[in-house]
Amino acid sequence: MINSTHEISLELCMAMYQKAEEKAKEIGLNIVFTVLDKSGKIKFYAKMDNTILFADKAAFKKAFTAIGFGMPTGSTWYDFIKDDPILMNGADSLENFSLLGGGKPLIYQGHIIGGIGVSGGHYSHDEIVCEAAYSVFATL
């Protein structure tokens, strides 16, 4: 599911999405699910029916931020910047940055090989769905 050049396979993306969709339906959420490769390019994209308008861009930005900094978006990122006024006020000026939860880097054998972004509801719900998708990756 991950090839010799540390690229995410389409098969892995689909398995992660299937788990994300299952969790989203369980909690009553319609999501956009995006997987970016290590260079920040879209590898996989899926959009459930009736998603909110901003979900497309938000899912991308969450995955991009997770790749760019090698850490999940949401409380992990907030805890990292909350006591640093320059970073706290400057982070938003970064293109494709999102502090909102629902983004997670995909790290394999010490290398960032991509990232997941989930958007569709409150960021805490997006994080739950993202974690479900990540659980598929974590078994590798």
pTM of the model: 0.93
Q: Taking residues 99-127, what's their average pLDDT?
A: 96
Domain boundaries along the sequence of the chain: 10-138
Least confident residue range of 42-56, 77-91, 95-109: 77-91
Choose among 132, 131, 126, 129: nearest CA to 55. 126
Q: Determine the pLDDT at residue 3.
A: 65
Tokens of 49: 């029916």
| In the chain, % of residues over pLDDT 70 | 96
From the options 3.30.450.150, 3.10.20.30, 3.40.50.2000, 3.40.50.300, give the CATH code of 10-138.
3.30.450.150
